[in-house]
Amino acid sequence: MRSWQKHARVALGAFLLVFGAVVYLGVHRRQAPPQTGGVKRTDPNAVVESTGAQVTQFKGARQNFRVEAENQLRYASGATRLKGARIFVDQRAGRNFRVTGREAELNETGTDVKLVGDVRMTSSDGLDARTGEASYSDSEGVVHAPGPVEFTTDRLSGNAVGMTYDKNRDVLWLLAKAVVKIAPDKQSKGGVEIFAGAAGVARRDKYMRFERGVRVLHAGQVIEADNATAFLSDDEKRIQMIELRDGSRVTSAKGASGSLQAMSARDINLTYAAEGERLERAVLAGDSAIQIAGSAPGRSRRIAGDWIDLQLGPDGNTVTSLGARDRVELDLPAEADAPRRVIRAPSLQASGEEGKGLTSASFGESVEFREIRPAGAAPRIARSRTLALTVKPGLGAVESARFAGGVRFEEGELRASARDARYFVDRGVIALAGTDEQTGQQPRVVDEQATIEAKRIDLQPEGPKVTASEGVNSVLQPARQQAAAQPGGQPPPQPTAPRPGQPAQATRMPAILKQDQPTNVTAANLEYDGGAGHAVYTGNVRLWQPGTTIKGNRLVLDDSKGDLTASGSVVTTMLLLQTNDKTKAKEQTPTTGAAADLHYEDAIRRATYTTNAHLSGTQGDLTADKIELYLDETGDEVERIEGYKTVNLLTTDGRRATGDRMTYFASDERYVMKGVPVKIIEECRETTGKTLTFFKSTDRIIVDGNEETRTQTKGGTKCGEPRFD
């Protein structure tokens, strides 16, 4: 398209030939032709009056200037008036011009010229310019037109109120209410409208200046600023750049996703492609912001910063590259399946490709990534040194986010940290990795209930869910107690912090663990599902508190029920209240257990050891295929013990007993054994029967329901070393 600046320059510059012609008349004093008889005087004050005046100026052998008038009047003062003036300028800039007006006035020295009354200039290439009055002062070298000015060409038209032209500097100014319009070409392209409080054309320096509120309608864009300067190419056929200053704004018609919708800043520089219509680059400075179209109305992306530099693709609308610095903010609105996201950083570099728009963005130095969750839910916030985003075309939905350097996540009571992290947005998973080189801190997840450390952690805040591997070290904190105890005197459930978007839930730690002390668990791997309330540790698992240890290859904690399951060479140590054989006082005594599997059920306070079960404590040393340990309501004291199949018991006072079934009652230190037969060996005696009951505290033995002697007694090879037959 032809540049609107070029058209305006040609039209207005040509109009100035009106004043050039008048100036010529003023500086070349003419001798009036002799009066002929019969001339009717039109002004009695004139000393000379003639009709049909004509003045012709030649340059070499070529005529290039001719003035005609219906009347010419000269006055005693030396002033001259021309009525019905017509000025012809041939072959000026390749065109022929004609200027007309009702009157032209020259002062006595010919240095001041005034043209008044329907002043009009036309050219051979279709230019038509009009004004009511114009004047020229040779001492100033400036032409003045105080009133309305209008001009038109084939496609160009414009108007203003007041005009000046400085012939020495070759600068034209439209003084007020300047309007320039260019009609679209045959392909409906190139239409431009320019509105300004004032406009200036610097022909020599190839630029135009607009002031006092500029508004340009161009190629589907609305360009506004307090002031603007437009620069032309050397051949004056296209726009190279427009500089907008103070209150600058550019808005575009609605485009496809990824296209530029709006820009605003204190100052904006716009650079155009070779044809002068397509925008290639924009540089914004001072409180800058741009808006990029989203996939649907109301989902536009906004980028703000003190300085923004953006490149556009061949269509002149799609942003393909962007740099920003100083107080940068990217605002991604909520989508149907994604929350609103706001990212702040000192710098941003975004890139993309033709046809796709921006597809990646990198933020540098002290980044804050914030997800605005549903109403009532805590925001999800991440901080790091740098952040690299992968997004769908057109700066669309975030697909993944890579955080590097001192990464910190928070959401309500949930905290996570690592050297580096990757956020898989579509799955809602945060992958934490890397040990901090300065502090040696491994990836860590912390909430009100637990701290988890490992070389690698995958965190899903919704739930939450945690997958940790390579050296898991976790600490389970004592849960805060509710204010009131539950009915029946039972201890209250322990509430955990509410998860985002979820109601608060009561959690329970197994009663075999001390409720007022933290619990440590180490393992090779961990899978935790907060929604299900399950924590699964695998690989060389060790759980411990002061006085309590559980080891195995696999450990499952169910914090919704308070249950615990362990498997794979399970070994346990617990401090339980049991009766001291000597003092008969209850005191904390270690109880150790071992089995292939362990299952603790908190609802009934039962710990079940199965397969090669072994339990040792003040009740004695017990082996069986399966052992059940029942605790009282506090979980601190043994209530009873059950043994099943191949039961073998060695009491602390030296008795050995075997059978198929055994029950130990801690309240009266009573053992009840059944089998075919039951055997008990004490000192040098062996007692057998179908049912055997004995009391450790009183040395009473009841066989088959009778306390009488219904036994077979065999002596051992040595007293004190009984043998089993």
* Boundary (domain end) residue, out of 375, 394, 413: 394
SS3 label, residue 32: coil
Residue 67 lies in a domain: yes
Residue 649 lies in a domain: yes
Burial class for 139, CB neighbours closer than 10 Å (0-12, 13-18, 19+): exposed
Residue 230 lies in a domain: yes
**For 683-693, what is each residue's pLDDT tens digit?**
777 888 889 88
Q: What is the mean pLDDT of residues 66-80?
A: 80
Residue 110 contacts by C-beta under 8 Å, 6 or more apart in sequence?
Answer: 25, 26, 27, 28, 29, 80
Angle at 590 between CA 614 and CA 661, to 5 degrees: 30
Q: What is the mean pLDDT of residues 51-65?
A: 59
Asked whether residue 720 carries a pLDDT value surpassing 60, the answer given is: no
Confidence of residue 3 (pLDDT cuts 50, 70, 90): very low
Give the number of other Cβ atoms within 10 Å of residue 271's Cβ. Answer: 16
Per-residue pLDDT at 576 = 85
Confidence of residue 38 (pLDDT cuts 50, 70, 90): low
Confidence of residue 190 (pLDDT cuts 50, 70, 90): low
Residue 722 lies in a domain: no
Confidence of residue 666 (pLDDT cuts 50, 70, 90): confident
Angle at 594 between CA 592 and CA 598, to 5 degrees: 110
By C-alpha distance, which of 577, 638, 583, 572 is closest to 605?
638
Higher pLDDT, 416 or 109: 416
Which amino acid makes up residue 64? N
Per-residue pLDDT at 722 = 45
The answer on 288 and 267 residing in a single domain is yes
Q: Do 225 and 290 form a contact (C-beta atoms < 8 A)?
A: no
DSSP calls for 475-487:
EEPPPPPPSSPPG
Q: Percent helix, strand, coil in the chain (nearest 5)?
A: 5, 65, 35
DSSP letter assigned to residue 338: B
Residue 466 contacts by C-beta under 8 Å, 6 or more apart in sequence?
Answer: 445, 452, 457, 458, 459, 460, 526, 527, 528, 530
Phi and psi angles of residue 13, each rounded to the nearest 5 degrees, phi first: -65, -40
Per-residue pLDDT at 660 = 93
For residues 84 and 71, give the distance between their C-alpha atoms in angstroms, rounded to a whole number: 7
Residue 708 contacts by C-beta under 8 Å, 6 or more apart in sequence?
Answer: none
* Boundary (domain end) residue, out of 474, 494, 522: 474
Asked whether residue 717 carries a pLDDT value surpassing 50, the answer given is: no
By C-alpha distance, which of 9, 13, 4 is closest to 193?
4
Give the number of other Cβ atoms within 10 Å of residue 599's Cβ. Answer: 18
Per-residue pLDDT at 709 = 42
Token pair of 459, please?
Answer: 């965190």
DSSP letter assigned to residue 489: G
DSSP letter assigned to residue 278: S
For residues 164 and 172, give the distance between their C-alpha atoms in angstroms, rounded to a whole number: 6
The answer on 456 and 527 residing in a single domain is no
**For 307-333, what is each residue's pLDDT tens digit?**
999 999 888 888 999 999 999 999 998
Residue 306 contacts by C-beta under 8 Å, 6 or more apart in sequence?
Answer: 285, 286, 287, 288, 325, 326, 327
The answer on 558 and 670 residing in a single domain is yes
Residue 138 lies in a domain: yes
Taking each helix axis from N to C end, the angle separating 17-27 and 4-15, rounded to the nearest 10 degrees, works out to: 30
The answer on 430 and 386 residing in a single domain is no
By C-alpha distance, which of 31, 227, 205, 14 is closest to 128?
14
Per-residue pLDDT at 707 = 60
25-34, 133-142, 257-266, 307-316: range with lowest mean pLDDT: 25-34
Asked whether residue 503 carries a pLDDT value surpassing 70, the answer given is: no
DSSP calls for 185-241:
-TTS---EEEEEEEEEEETTTTEEEEEEEEEEEETTEEEEESEEEEEE-TTSSSEEE
CA 321 from chain centre, in angstroms, equals: 17
Which amino acid makes up residue 46? A
CA 578 from chain centre, in angstroms, equals: 60
7-16, 135-144, 308-317, 364-373: range with lowest mean pLDDT: 7-16
For residues 509 and 513, give the distance between their C-alpha atoms in angstroms, rounded to a whole number: 7
pTM for this one?
0.76
Q: Which helix (H) or strand (E) holds 12?
A: helix 4-15
The answer on 440 and 297 residing in a single domain is no
Asked whether residue 195 carries a pLDDT value surpassing 80, the answer given is: yes
For residues 678 and 672, give the distance between their C-alpha atoms in angstroms, rounded to a whole number: 10
Residue 173 lies in a domain: no
CATH number at residue 80: 2.60.450.10
The answer on 648 and 576 residing in a single domain is yes
* Boundary (domain end) residue, out of 378, 394, 410: 394
Q: Which helix (H) or strand (E) holds 171?
A: strand 171-182
By C-alpha distance, which of 140, 93, 87, 89 is closest to 115?
87
Residue 121 lies in a domain: yes
For residues 452 and 446, give the distance between their C-alpha atoms in angstroms, rounded to a whole number: 6
Token pair of 495, please?
Answer: 């509430």
For residues 18 and 251, give the distance between their C-alpha atoms in angstroms, rounded to a whole number: 39
For residues 12 and 160, give the distance between their C-alpha atoms in angstroms, rounded to a whole number: 11
43-47, 483-487, 673-677: range with lowest mean pLDDT: 483-487
Token pair of 680, please?
Answer: 């008990």
Q: In DSSP terms, which residues pair with 136 in a beta bridge?
A: 113, 143
Q: Do 42 and 49 form a contact (C-beta atoms < 8 A)?
A: yes
Q: Do 300 and 340 form a contact (C-beta atoms < 8 A)?
A: no
For residues 5 and 276, give the distance between their C-alpha atoms in angstroms, rounded to a whole number: 11
The answer on 442 and 389 residing in a single domain is no
Asked whether residue 486 carries a pLDDT value surpassing 60, the answer given is: no
The answer on 236 and 144 residing in a single domain is no
Asked whether residue 179 carries a pLDDT value surpassing 60, the answer given is: yes
Q: Total domain count for the chain?
A: 4
For residues 443 and 423, give the distance between their C-alpha atoms in angstroms, rounded to a whole number: 14
Q: Which residue has the tokens 């100083």?
A: 326
For residues 198 and 502, give the distance between their C-alpha atoms in angstroms, rounded to a whole number: 62
Token pair of 405, please?
Answer: 């350097």
Q: What is the mean pLDDT of residues 337-366?
A: 90
Confidence of residue 634 (pLDDT cuts 50, 70, 90): confident
Q: Is 612 left (phi over 0), alpha (psi -120 to 50) or beta?
A: left
The answer on 519 and 443 residing in a single domain is no
Residues in the chain: 725
For residues 162 and 168, give the distance between their C-alpha atoms in angstroms, rounded to a whole number: 19
Per-residue pLDDT at 592 = 95
Per-residue pLDDT at 64 = 55
Mean pLDDT of the chain: 81
Please measure the distance between the N-terminal and C-terminal CA atoms of the chain and give it in whole angstroms: 113
The answer on 521 and 612 residing in a single domain is yes
Say if strands 494-495 and 444-446 run parallel, antiparallel, or are unpaired: unpaired
Asked whether residue 30 carries a pLDDT value surpassing 50, the answer given is: no
SS3 label, residue 257: coil
The answer on 429 and 402 residing in a single domain is yes
Phi and psi angles of residue 9, each rounded to the nearest 5 degrees, phi first: -60, -45
Residue 712 lies in a domain: no
Higher pLDDT, 62 or 200: 200
Domain encompassing residue 442: 397-474
Asked whether residue 37 carries a pLDDT value surpassing 60, the answer given is: no
b/e map 290-318, b = 16+ CB within 10 Å:
bbbbbbeeebbbbbbbbbbbbbbbeebbb
For residues 305 and 144, give the distance between their C-alpha atoms in angstroms, rounded to a whole number: 45
The answer on 664 and 560 residing in a single domain is yes
